[in-house]
Structure 1
Amino acid sequence: MRHGKKFNHLGRTSSHRKAMLSNMATSLIKHKRITTTLAKAKALRQYVEPLITKSKNDTTHSRRTVFSYLQDKEAVTILFREISEKVATRPGGYTRIIKLENRLGDNAEMAFIELVDYNEVYKKDGDAQERKSTRRRGGKKKASAAAPAADTTTEVAVDEKPTAAEETVAEVEETAAEAAPAVDDEAETQNEDSQEEGKEEKKD
């Protein structure tokens, strides 16, 4: 019976288990996300999170301590240069485990473990932007206040512009004014012709 035994040996000897977790931690630090079984992911979380906490204090002693666990210079450099800056304000909980479908071969429970600060889907900034875009408080008042302003501007514009009837009246007056001198000239020529005819009749 395993009552009260929280330590999962993962079916390996102590040396084999340490080497496996060291390699998995190195892969997680380099790639920021790895897929493994659920049991290994939970064991890896207990193994790697203390190392990430240790990387917040960038000293020679901390680097040597972390290197004794990882045995990889490149992983130690990435951990102390990049990851420590990302998790500087996070008080623990650096990793996230999400379950996947069971493995086809042996039906083992699968999961992927990732660094929280390197996931673009669950970022708080994206949530805040979405919430800002969907806020409704005060939106109706602003819309109602903007609508009358738009109406007044349209009314002023309509009042300033002449109507179609006024335009037609103005056009008729202009055409009448242009035609009036021509009518007066015709009347004068007719009067002159009638006077000349009257003179000729008198002479006769």
Structure 2
Amino acid sequence: MAGYRKLGRTTAQRKALLRNQVTNLLYHGRIKTTESKAKEVRKMAEKMIALAVKEMDNFEEVTVTAKVPRKDAEGRRVKEEVDGKKVTVYDELEKTIKKDKATRLHARRQMLKVLYPVVEVPGNKKRSAKKVDMVAKMFDEVGPKYQDRNGGYTRMIKIGQRKGDGAMEVFIELV
């Protein structure tokens, strides 16, 4: 007996389909799909959420100094002349950043193997599209949400058979 469902697809197609559905489930919180696909998506999503819960607090705060170019009122870099050349003027800023410990870094890389990059486009404005860091969302939002829960992060709700081929359709959603 196989350890997974093949879903009538080649390996590459199957992996891409499941990665896409897991990413959409974790981003939107709910997707509609067939029952067999949902059972496979559930396996992957539960593992991602379990990683986020386990490693969400495993970091240290570090203060770093960064050189940032000085900007004028119009947002352009300020330049001054030194030895006949125009040179950008830099300011030093101190920032506090989260530095992942080794196990959290490994968890982050495991999540990046599964999750696709998400681009959020508000309305029809492609210029104002912004990238969503799904791994940061997992650690910052999903992890604390399920911190007190031991597994069972998803639920499947059957909604009946599909009209075309009679496949059982379900909503799979985060609890």
Band the TM-score falls in, shorter-chain normalisation = 0.5 to 0.7
**Residue equivalent to 2:89:** none
Instruction: Please say if 1:67 is aligned against 2:112.
Output: yes
The alignment partner of 1:101 has SS state of strand
**Residue equivalent to 2:82:** none
**Residue equivalent to 1:108:** 167
Tell me the CA shift for residue 6 of structure 1. Answer: 4.7
TM-score (norm 1): 0.53
Instruction: Please say if 1:96 is aligned against 2:141.
Output: no
Distance 1:99 1:108 in 2: 11
Q: Larger C-alpha radius of gyration, 1 or 2? A: 1
Structure 1 gap segments, 5+ residues each = 117-204
Superposed CA deviations along residues 91-130 of structure 1, whole A, max 9, x for unmatched, are: 11110011111111111110010001xxxxxxxxxxxxxx
Letter in 1 for 2:172: I
Identity of aligned residues (%): 42
Distance 1:30 1:69 in 2: 13
Distance 1:74 1:38 in 2: 29
Q: 1:17 aligns with which of 14, 24, 29?
A: 14
Give yes or no for contact 2:26–2:45 (8 Å, CA) kept in 1.
Answer: no
TM-score (norm 2): 0.61
Aligned pair count reads 113
The structure whose RCO (Cα within 8 Å, separation 6+) is larger is: 2
Structure 2 gap segments, 5+ residues each = 57-103, 118-131
1 or 2, which has the higher helix percentage? Answer: 1
CA RMSD, 1 decimal? 1.3
